[in-house]
Chains A and B, each alone.
Chain A
């Protein structure tokens, strides 16, 4: 019940395309859902986060869509660029408690 599932494991997108990464959870106590971006040899960096009281949050080219009833959330990267090539992790946490991370998605954006 503490797991966060993430798909796909890897994703190849053409420059300018839309990258979509999906995550699903079981624990209804989760109420904070961040996405992190990690480049090789670097620590993860917070991209965007959402709470379950909203269904969508957009920051620049990055959008989180949240479906509370389905217990799913997804990251959309619009106009994907080669510089977006990285590993993306979704996470979930009950308030004040430790994050549970998804297994990660390796995104490659082709020039």
Chain B
């Protein structure tokens, strides 16, 4: 149980285009999902907290107009990287918390983004 999927697993795009990453909780309802960014050999950096039906809460330094987050249902959150630049190339990981529990986060497999 508690499986989180991400799609796509990797994406290559041209500079200036937008990329959408989906995060789905497959066997549970997630009132809260988190989006992280991870650079090579570094820890996870929280970008934003996504709550179903409300606006995401962004961490300091994360541009909300660049990283658009939508949490339209209890099983789906999306991260859209708008006007991507090469410096946005990174490993993006989502996690989800089961409804009724605010503790254990279950992570997706990650999405590798390369902006050319």
Contact = CB atoms under 8 A, between A and B. Distances in A.
Interface of B: 4, 6, 34, 41-44, 46, 49, 91, 93, 95, 102-110, 112
Residue in B44, B104, B105, B106 whose Cβ sees the most chain A Cβ within 10 Å? B44
A contact face: mostly helix, strand, loop, or mixed = loop
Given A32-B103, A98-B34, A99-B105, A41 B110 contact: yes
Interface of A: 32, 34, 36, 41-46, 49, 89, 93, 95-99, 101-104, 106
Nearest to A46: B104
Given A42-B109, A43-B109, 16 more contacts: A36-B107, A41-B91, A41-B112, A43-B93, A43-B95, A43-B110, A44-B44, A44-B93, A46-B104, A46-B107, A96-B102, A99-B105, A101-B43, A101-B44, A104-B41, A104-B42
Contacts, number: 49
A97 B42 CA distance: 22
B79 to A, nearest CB: 14
B28 to A, nearest CB: 14
A98 B49 contact: yes
